[in-house]
Amino acid sequence: MMQLSGVSALERTSFADIPCSLARSLEAIGDWWSPLILRDLFLGVRRFGELVEDLGISRNLLTRRLVALEEAGIVRREPYETRPPRYEYALTEAGLELVPILVALTAWGDRWKAPRKGAPIEFVHTDCGHRLRPRIVCADCSGEISHDNLRPMPGPGARAARGTKVIARKLAGTAGL
Amino acid sequence: MMQLSGVSALERTSFADIPCSLARSLEAIGDWWSPLILRDLFLGVRRFGELVEDLGISRNLLTRRLVALEEAGIVRREPYETRPPRYEYALTEAGLELVPILVALTAWGDRWKAPRKGAPIEFVHTDCGHRLRPRIVCADCSGEISHDNLRPMPGPGARAARGTKVIARKLAGTAGL
DNA sequence: GCCTATGGTTCAATGATTGAACTTAGTTTA
DNA sequence: TAAACTAAGTTCAATCATTGAACCATAGGC
């Protein structure tokens, strides 16, 4: 049985020590290829060779990304055939919860980076049958969220470290707004 | 007056030729640092030196990212002082529309990559006063969007190219679902 | 004149990405 | 039973990007 070698998925500067959940999310999927890999897994492209063919990603890099995504709990490796032992990749629950975010980013691209010919892929919301136009709203009041109805505040885990040093100062100044 | 040099913000493999709006979004902000730069700009960290201090990013790399983000129409460079000519950076409308998406990604990190101590930064939805829990919903029916009520379909710009070669085949097979 | 502040640029060293060739294991075809 | 085929990786050299430190330029204050 073939084993993934112990490549340690080294990244450039790590964001792991930045006390910010965005930094931690990016630590997991913030690299150049991971979001497209997740898109493909969601769209049904699940085998190593299919991912290489679809994305044109280098095989060794795909191996490293898949290992990293698996270690991050976003992707699961499962056998689809035992006699010639073969594996394919699937999204875990954490990975599936990234799908709406990727879809929202796709909609942003439709709006601001659209090609002349129109969107290449569209989504239908099967609950209502409409072509999907995602909105990001508040779970409490259902109002749309935008840059100007959002106030950042230091949370329980706040501290002044790399990635929040200057922010901590700024938030301290506006916390009582 | 000091000018930004014409660095051409070369990236690794470009996603520009992939017919997918997600790929085009990632072409603009899919690198390692851009999302954190956008977060800082949103949170009020707007000067070159502040960004360097807050993020610990290399100065030359920050220059390149800011140039690329400006060229992508996500960031605007504006003078805040003329006599010693000094500039700061602000989000454009396109950049501001990324904020809810970054917030959603932050919430994902809170849920799946939370530190022991709790979230370092929280957001309050000022329209209702609650601590923000973002939801991604359908604009038509207001129902929540998830991986299992979404059906991908070939759009008007669909074609089989790098990044959609295999997907195009798969979608052709399920288009009539 | 010299020091400081701010916003960059330059450059050498290091680390990541690319692309092609190779390996492994089992299965089918001749 | 050997040769060819398939799928999933591994290995490696060349290239490209990132890092970190030192430098430069402009202007103001002392």
Q: How far does the CA of B139 sit from the C1' of C29, in Å?
A: 56
**pLDDT (mean) for A138-146:** 98
Q: How far does the CA of A60 sit from the C1' of D11, in Å?
A: 9
The C-alpha angle with vertex A91 and arms to A133 and B144, in degrees rounded to 5, equals 30
Q: How confident is the model at residue A118 (pLDDT cuts 50, 70, 90)?
A: confident
Residue spans of alpha helices (H) in A30-98: 34-42, 48-55, 59-71, 93-96
Low-confidence winner among A118-122, B24-28, B143-147 (lowest mean pLDDT):
A118-122
Chain D, protein-covered positions (CB within 7 A): 6-12, 16-22, 25-28
Percentage of residues of chain A with pLDDT beyond 90: 82
User: Residue B124: pLDDT above 90?
Assistant: yes
**pLDDT (mean) for A47-58:** 98
**pLDDT (mean) for A116-129:** 94
pLDDT tens sequence across B142-176: 999 999 999 999 999 999 999 999 999 999 876 54
Q: How far does the CA of B47 sit from the C1' of D24, in Å?
A: 19
Chain C, protein-covered positions (CB within 7 A): 5-11, 15-21, 24-27
Nucleotide nearest to B32 (CA to C1'): D18
User: Residue A123: pLDDT above 50?
Assistant: yes
pLDDT tens sequence across B68-110: 999 999 999 999 988 888 999 999 999 999 999 999 999 999 9
Amino acid A1: pLDDT:
32
A32 contacts: CB under 8 Å, gap ≥ 6: B11, B12, B13, B26, B30, B31, B32
Q: Which amino acid is at A25?
A: S
Give the whole-angstrom CA distance, residue B49 versus residue B18.
35
Cβ pair B150:A132 closer than 8 A: yes
Phi, psi torsion values for A71, nearest 5 degrees: -60, -30
A98 vs B contacts (CB less than 8 Å): 108
User: Residue B10: pLDDT above 50?
Assistant: no
Q: Give yes or no for CB of B13 within 7 Å of strand C.
A: yes
Residue A44 region by backbone torsions, left for phi larger than 0, else alpha for psi between -120 and 50, else beta: left
**Residue of chain A nearest B154, judged by CA positions:** A121
Amino acid A10: pLDDT:
39
Sorted by where each starts, the structural domains of chain B and their CATH numbers stand as: 21-97 (1.10.10.10)
The C-alpha angle with vertex B10 and arms to B7 and B11, in degrees rounded to 5, equals 150
Number of C-beta neighbours around residue B89 at 10 A = 24
**pLDDT (mean) for A21-44:** 98
Amino acid A34: pLDDT:
98
Amino acid B69: pLDDT:
98
Q: In whole numbers, what is the pLDDT of chain A averaged over residues?
A: 91
Which residue bears the tokens 């950049």? B95
Amino acid A172: pLDDT:
85
Q: Return the SS3 of B172.
A: helix
**pLDDT (mean) for A163-171:** 93
User: Residue A4: pLDDT above 70?
Assistant: no
